[in-house]
Structure 1
């Protein structure tokens, strides 16, 4: 039975509750892509620009929703989170807006830009060796000090928060979608959005996209249970979650039709394409869905009405330039 928090009316109520602290991000019909000859005839494309959200990613929706529904006494003790970057910025933003103290564990390899954004919002940032270690350390501190742990992708209020993107999209849409393509890290985004879309548009196909160097959910689905990967290697640090978790994994098993894998070069080409065609400075995760549509999903989605989620844009301009230049060479 589906968690009542993820029923459409509950998700819509959550979106209304979040409204003071989030942007309603636009949906655009991508006519130039449709007419470019890169897709089969009669394939229609819409792109939702969630990279224009506060903090430049979708992440504040889940972070705010967790905090707004946390125990009032516990949240006074503070908030703790683990992140590769984007989630930490969102937690820092949400804590700042709601008047709470946040401590964030972040790998030393995380982007200096993302670390600084967390500091700018007043969070304390604690360095560690990996995202897996960050998750472990955050859980330890939460138990020790009875803090509110805002997980980067797991839990009912996180999924409900990400589902508000789908609720917003449905109310913006001029037509029902046949398919939607969503980048996958730990799975919280596609779990929430997929569960909502499958309820309101039962015929929709939900596709996730993961890097070949971080196929956590793809591997877990093949195994039939959540698991942890030891070796993660991808330019898409937003998609580098090493672990699948039970709540989001169960939703993915039920509501996601397929997970496709992309190489780093595929994502670089997607970044280059989004900049050339829409002048968007997209991080690799944000570029993954369009790269999937132009690549492994091109034939499968021929003639369909396809939605693409542009999920985020938090990367240093020098890194962006390097990756886009690399795309031109490959």
Structure 2
């Protein structure tokens, strides 16, 4: 971590980037969660939901993708972009390219949800399907090598984190005196920016991450003091399934994140149920993970506090949602006990 330069993540830099993106990125709403179910578990905590599920493309990913794309000069943009993704980042990269009028070829895992594949194609991007894992990234690398395209990483790098920092800056301006913020964690692109922004505005505010038990690369990386690559990923939350943490995101998390906890897939589904019943939100598992973490392993830290919870996305098809909701109904008593 010592040789990773994170000095570019200043409050001024984050504010400048947020201002540069303001005309294209939505300032998503924050709503208070009035729920006896949640209040009983969290001892009367005041919970505010930051609704990034209403962002362009259906997730926070639009922020990072556009931030990276806008950092390219005109000559570089003319070469076009590529991305590797199981879904949400491909959608966001295609959307960002369309915003800037540049070519996009995105490589998606061939086990990606067809609903997300259709959303990526709807941006105007050319979608190339490859087997999941290394072959997906290799496909994007080939486009960089053979066509000169610029690779927009799904979660790593200064410009990605500067983009996602806008979530934290908005939340801190929208809700006064927060004690804690809860964020789902995949590769670390969201939490790295949110945590840096939150701590820049209020160093006393705690930032907690939540990972699936079967995709806990950031937890393991923070424990090891260096980025870790998992041998295997096993979770329904495919948006939280990158098999590794990487140096820049890990370095920011090591400095600004207070703790990262893990939750089971059953708990994630139960978190989706809570958001449906208490907030009337139909979200994807990645968002359910944040609620599961808040009501599960983090409840002792959040009890009676003022809490911001990032609802990171809602790109899910009806059939998958209903299946996971049924699973969550069965698991809900355990989450609330």
Residue 169 of structure 1 is matched in structure 2 by 171
Residue 14 of structure 2 is matched in structure 1 by 11
Residue 25 of structure 2 is matched in structure 1 by 22
3-state SS of paired residue (1:213): helix
8 Å CA contact retained: 1:211, 1:234: yes
Match of 1:60 among 49, 59, 62: 62
Residue 80 of structure 1 is matched in structure 2 by 82
8 Å CA contact retained: 2:182, 2:309: yes
3-state SS of paired residue (1:209): strand
Normalising by structure 1, what TM-score? 0.95
Q: Which moved more, 1:293-302 or 1:234-243?
A: 293-302
3-state SS of paired residue (1:20): coil
Q: For the structure 1 residues 6 and 118, does the alpha-carbon distance in structure 2 shift closer, same or farther, using more than 3 Å as the test?
A: same
Residue 107 of structure 1 is matched in structure 2 by 109
8 Å CA contact retained: 2:6, 2:251: no
Residue 138 of structure 2 is matched in structure 1 by 136
3-state SS of paired residue (2:301): coil
3-state SS of paired residue (2:35): helix
* Structure 1 unpaired stretches of 5+: none
Q: CA RMSD in A?
A: 1.6
Residue 184 of structure 1 is matched in structure 2 by 185
**Deviation, structure 1 residue 141:** 2.5
Q: Partners of 1:131 and 1:26 in 2: how far apart? A: 34
3-state SS of paired residue (2:302): coil
**Deviation, structure 1 residue 17:** 1.1
Pair 1:310-2:298 in alignment: no
Aligned residues: 328
Pair 1:322-2:323 in alignment: yes
3-state SS of paired residue (2:215): coil
8 Å CA contact retained: 1:103, 1:125: yes
**Deviation, structure 1 residue 272:** 0.9
**Deviation, structure 1 residue 34:** 7.8
**Deviation, structure 1 residue 172:** 1.6
3-state SS of paired residue (1:191): helix
8 Å CA contact retained: 2:6, 2:248: no
* Structure 2 unpaired stretches of 5+: 332-337
**Deviation, structure 1 residue 278:** 1.3
8 Å CA contact retained: 2:34, 2:278: no
**Deviation, structure 1 residue 308:** 0.3
3-state SS of paired residue (1:113): helix
Q: Partners of 2:9 and 2:106 in 1: how far apart? A: 27
Q: Partners of 1:128 and 1:85 in 2: how far apart? A: 12
Q: Which residues of 2 match residues 1-330 of structure 1 at below 5 A? A: 3-33=6-36, 36-41=39-44, 43-173=45-175, 175-330=176-331
Residues 164-218 of structure 1: CA deviation (Å, up to 9, x unaligned):
1111112222x12111100000001111111111111011111100000111111
Q: Which moved more, 1:318-327 or 1:14-23?
A: 14-23
Q: Partners of 1:87 and 1:33 in 2: how far apart? A: 35
Residue 335 of structure 2 is matched in structure 1 by none
8 Å CA contact retained: 1:58, 1:162: yes
**Deviation, structure 1 residue 157:** 0.3
